[in-house]
Amino acid sequence: MAPNQVDNLSAVLYKKDDLRMEQRPIPTPGPQQLLVKIHTVGICGSDVHYLTHGAIGSFIVKAPLVLGHETAGVVEEVGDQVKGFSVGDRVALEPGVPCRRCYHCKLGTYNLCPDMGFFATPPFDGSLTRFVVHDADFCFKLPDHVTFEEGALLEPLSVGVHTVRRAGVKIGQKALILGSGPIGILTLLVSKAAGASAVVITDIDDGRLAMAKELGADYTINVRGKSIQQVKDEITACLGQPPHVSMECTGVATSVETAILTTLSGGTIVLVGLGADRADLPMVEAAIREVDIRGVFRYANCYPTAIELVASKKVDLSKLTRAHYTLEETPEAFKRAQKADVIKVFINCEKKD
């Protein structure tokens, strides 16, 4: 490692509201790993949740944890058994590495692997640092015209790809997306790329809805203060019929209920947003109308598709609002992320000369 590359500044969460910037040793890649010099990391809602709550469900910060998992960088060193990568390659890092041996891994649904190691999910450190090592088969080369920021956005975009696949969106179908946060917006873009003929998106924030409209939503509905029946009626009026598929991206119980009551009989709902552990929902309504309810957990085999969507401009990420910070400014970046006034806050991890 060259003398000017001994800096491995890292954003380390010790406990709730205790984020520290500190030096970590530069890791050494194993035989099938790459050492990646991190360029760009996007802040995810889960990163903010760990900072503000110290846990997400059963995942509890019990030891110092490097945050960050939406990642793009440059290959700095190649493990001696790795093929197909060279120093200097620009890459996006899929942050979860499964065991590759269990039932789910062999089936291809490796996102359900019980032994998954995922960046910034206790006890696994994340990528908000100068250097990380990562298994080469979960690193993906970026085409020359795809930016580092787009490379970092491949992670949440892959959630959108997986969501649309789980929903089974087909050409000409009409879709409902509940929630126009980052995942809702990216799911909108993928739904349109997949051939949805009309998409309604809901939220309680007019600014986010305006962005959704600009990015291709056919109809937007602000649901603040409205009853579920009112929202259902508006959705149906916009589309001229109930939606074939609904993709719930908030986790709010009333939003899930809206999806159940509004979706076309025989249609599909996917639950993307995570809310309370339990909810009082009209399950009989779903059962007697054969509305399928499916879960979404991260993604599997979606990065190649996400890259192709961006590289081909089938999905255009250029209009997503952004804010930019350096790695040294990470605490300020997290404060900005909590304001939620932009779709994505990015941190540049390059060491400045």
The first and second tokens of residue 250, run together, are: 């908030």
Whether 236 is covered by a domain: the verdict is yes
3-state secondary structure of 309: helix
Tokens of 352: 């400045």
What's the CATH code of the domain at 190? 3.40.50.720
Residue 165 shares a structural domain with residue 132? no
Query: Has residue 109 got a pLDDT over 70?
Result: yes
Average pLDDT over residues 217-245: 98
Q: Check residue 2 and give its pLDDT.
A: 45
Assigned domain for 310 exists: no
Least confident of 3-7, 67-71, 143-147, 299-303: 3-7
Predicted pLDDT of residue 287: 97
Percentage with pLDDT > 90 across the chain: 95
**One domain, residues 10 and 132:** yes
Nearest to 188 by CA among 247, 130, 274: 247
Count how many domains the chain has.
Answer: 2
- Whether a cis peptide bond, with omega within 30° of 0, leads into 114 is no
Q: Is residue 222 part of a domain?
A: yes
Does one domain contain both 237 and 114? no
Do residues 203 and 83 both lie within one domain? no
pLDDT digits (tens, 9 = 90+) for 124-165: 999 999 999 999 999 999 999 999 999 999 999 999 999 999
The dihedral sign for the CA sequence 285, 291, 292, 297? negative
Q: Between the CA of residue 77 and those of 57, 89, 92, 176, 352, what are the distances in Å? A: 36, 10, 15, 45, 20
What does the pLDDT average to over 307-330? 96
Look up the CATH number of the domain holding residue 28. 3.90.180.10
pLDDT of residue 248: 98
Residues 72 and 166 in one domain: no
Is 150 or 2 the better-scoring residue by pLDDT? 150
Same domain, 96 and 174: no
Compute how many other C-beta atoms are within 10 angstroms of the C-beta atom of residue 340: 15
Answer whether residue 105 is part of any domain.
Answer: yes
Burial (CB count within 10 angstroms: exposed 0-12, middle 13-18, buried 19+), residue 351: middle
Confidence bin at 326 (pLDDT 50/70/90): very high
Q: Do the domain assignments include residue 204?
A: yes
Note whether residue 151 is domain-resident: no
Q: Are residues 65 and 137 in the same domain?
A: yes
Instruction: Say how far apart CA 226 and CA 201 lie, in whole Å.
Output: 15
Residues facing 219 on adjacent strands? 200
Does 212 share its domain with 240? yes
Q: What is the pLDDT of residue 277?
A: 87
**Within a domain: residue 8?**
yes
What per-residue confidence (pLDDT) applies to 4?
Answer: 46
Does residue 196 belong to any structural domain of this protein? yes
- For residue 333, what are the domain limits? 3-141+321-348
- Single pTM value for the model: 0.95
Q: Return mean pLDDT, the chain.
A: 96
On whether the CB atoms of residues 305 and 280 are closer than 8 A, the answer is no
Per-residue pLDDT at 148: 98
Q: Are residues 176 and 96 in the same domain?
A: no
